[in-house]
């Protein structure tokens, strides 16, 4: 029998959740500790702590609002421009075959953090949903978050 060693997921499995909004709290920490790839004026880009796939990024407005229609025009524009840059960086660094890009608005739509809107960017590769996902209901992430963070941060264009 083989074991997948994922000790960073224990907090998630136990359901331990911080009292304050994770996205609001994240911006007070250091970029390296919080895996913040870039900070803009209205939004920031961070790695998903519990990624669906390697390189799973979140574009997060600083504004603590539940839905995209609550964002002002300046935030929406920067959100989309940074998303565009994120796609370019992920294409260059990770060579994905495609992407899932979108918002999960509301618990029924799969939002894990319903009170703070954020955009998911998930790189996809042919056969990335292999037998582990289908038979064992298990995802494999082939790179440590710290390594993915350093690589994406290094390739992010200077503003």
User: Are 27 and 41 contacting, i.e. CB atoms less than 8 angstroms apart?
Assistant: no
Question: Is 120 designated active site?
Answer: no
Residues 98-132 as b/e (b if ≥16 CB within 10 A, e otherwise) read ebeeeebeeeeeebeeeebbbbbbbbeeeebeeee
Q: Which two tokens stand for residue 124?
A: 């996809």
Instruction: Give dist(CA 83, CA 93) in Å, integer.
Output: 15
> Of 35, 56, 118, 120, which residue is the catalytic one?
118
Give the residue numbers annotated as catalytic, written as ranges: 118
């Amino acid at each position: 029998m083989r074991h997948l060693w994922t000790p960073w997921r224990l907090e998630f499995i136990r359901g331990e959740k911080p009292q304050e909004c994770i996205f609001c709290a994240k911006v007070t920490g250091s970029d390296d500790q919080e895996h913040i790839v870039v900070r803009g004026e209205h939004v920031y880009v961070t790695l998903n702590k519990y990624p669906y796939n390697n390189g799973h990024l979140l574009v997060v407005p600083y504004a603590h609002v539940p839905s995209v229609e609550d964002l002002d025009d300046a935030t929406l524009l920067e959100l989309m421009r940074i998303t565009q840059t994120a796609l370019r960086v992920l294409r260059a660094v990770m060579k994905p075959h495609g992407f899932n890009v979108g918002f999960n608005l509301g618990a029924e739509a799969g939002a894990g953090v319903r009170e703070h809107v954020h955009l998911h960017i998930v790189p996809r590769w042919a056969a990335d949903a292999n037998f582990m996902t289908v038979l064992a209901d298990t995802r494999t992430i082939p790179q440590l978050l710290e390594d993915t963070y350093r690589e994406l941060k290094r390739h992010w264009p200077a503003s």
